[in-house]
Amino acid sequence: SQELEQSPQSLIVQEGKNLTINCTSSKTLYGLYWYKQKYGEGLIFLMMLQKGGEEKSHEKITAKLDEKKQQSSLHITASQPSHAGIYLCGAESNTNAGKSTFGDGTTLTVKP
Amino acid sequence: GAVVSQHPSRVICKSGTSVKIECRSLDFQATTMFWYRQFPKQSLMLMATSNEGSKATYEQGVEKDKFLINHASLTLSTLTVTSAHPEDSSFYICSAIAGADGYTFGSGTRLTVV
């Protein structure tokens, strides 16, 4: 099965600081997704990466997928309190297309 | 974008009763939906894949008779927790593949069994 390791488990940053969250897979990724969640609520889709070396940005959030398609990073620039929440990476392997597995999540706290 | 509506958002039931959770795709057809369970401070765990017009595919360790899944139409999948017990208390989320939008998730259902 696809296993995703996400780090760090939790992160506390001062408002305005940059931060990075990593997601590493034991297998080659077919598709890598980043989500934001507040516990007890649904997931908000952030970005999807499929190609090796791909990079996407949305507002102050940038996600990258490495060339080998086994590691992704999510970078937030000039963090704000609105960025606080749980960030989850999700992935599907090409042998189980359509079925996602998820990392354990990173809880981000942004101090004003 | 594509929207998946999940209902109810919260439910409290007595031990031994059954609870039904609905997941609807509002503006697209979903031949496949996925049901997840999430414990506090843990990630999502896939429970089953719901296929329209056929039997659901359950992940290893998930009891088919306890978590009944029905996907009778292209826009509706239901998860019924039968004879619920306190250990079934959890957060349940459904999702569907919405074409180019990728996965779309419902807002989740918090089930508390007392």
Write the pLDDT tens digit of every residue in B21-33.
999 999 888 888 9
Tokens 């989320």 label which residue?
B93
* Residue A30 sits at the chain B interface (C-beta within 8 Å): no
Q: Does A98 touch chain B (CB under 8 A)?
A: yes
Structure tokens at A41: 């609520």
CA distances from B55 to B22, B28, B32, B52, B70 (A): 17, 21, 11, 8, 8
* Nearest residue on chain A to B48, alpha-carbon basis: A99
- The answer to whether the CB atoms of B102 and A35 lie below 8 A apart is no
Respond yes or no on whether the N-terminal peptide bond of residue A8 is cis (omega within 30° of 0).
Answer: yes
Structure tokens at A82: 């609105």
Give the side-chain half-sphere CA count within 13 A for A7. 4
Q: CA-CA distance, A69 to A51, in Å (whole number)?
A: 7
Instruction: Identify from B4, B43, B89 which residue to disrupt to test chain A contact, counting A C-beta atoms within 10 A and taking the largest count.
Output: B43
Distance, in Å, from the CA atom of A40 to the CA atom of A52, rounded to the nearest integer, reads 33
Q: How many CB atoms lie within 10 A of CB A41?
A: 17
Burial grade of B17 (CB within 10 A; 0-12, 13-18, 19 or more) = exposed
The overall longest dimension of chain B from CA atoms, in Å, is 41
> With 70 as the cut, is the pLDDT of residue A111 above it?
yes
Q: Determine, for residues A33 and B91 on separate chains, whether the beta-carbon distance falls below 8 Å.
A: no
Q: Is B101 on the interface with A (CB under 8 A)?
A: yes
The pLDDT of residue B100 is 62
Query: What residues of B are in contact with residue A35 (Cβ under 8 Å)?
Result: 105
User: Closest by alpha carbon to A35, among A109, A106, A92?
Assistant: A106
- Mean pLDDT is lowest, of A62-71, B44-53, B91-100, for B91-100
Spell out the residues 6+ positions from residue B43 whose beta carbon is closer than 8 angstroms to its own.
Answer: A88, A102, A103, A104, A105
Q: Could you give the CA distance from residue A61 to residue A20 in angstroms, rounded to a whole number?
A: 10
**Residue B68: how many CA atoms within 13 Å on its side-chain side?**
11
Q: Which residues of A touch B49 (CB under 8 A)?
A: 98-99
B residues 48-67 lying closer than 8 A (beta carbon) to A:
49
- Are the C-beta atoms of A87 and A8 separated by less than 8 Å? no
In the predicted model, what is the mean pLDDT of residues A3-23?
95
Model confidence over A27-79: pLDDT tens digits?
A: 888 788 899 987 667 788 898 898 899 999 988 999 999 988 899 999 999 99
Q: How many CB pairs under 8 A join A and B?
A: 54
Contact A41 B107 (CB under 8 A): yes
| Partner residue facing A33 (CB), from B102, B107, B108 | B102
Identify the three-state secondary structure at position B102.
Answer: coil
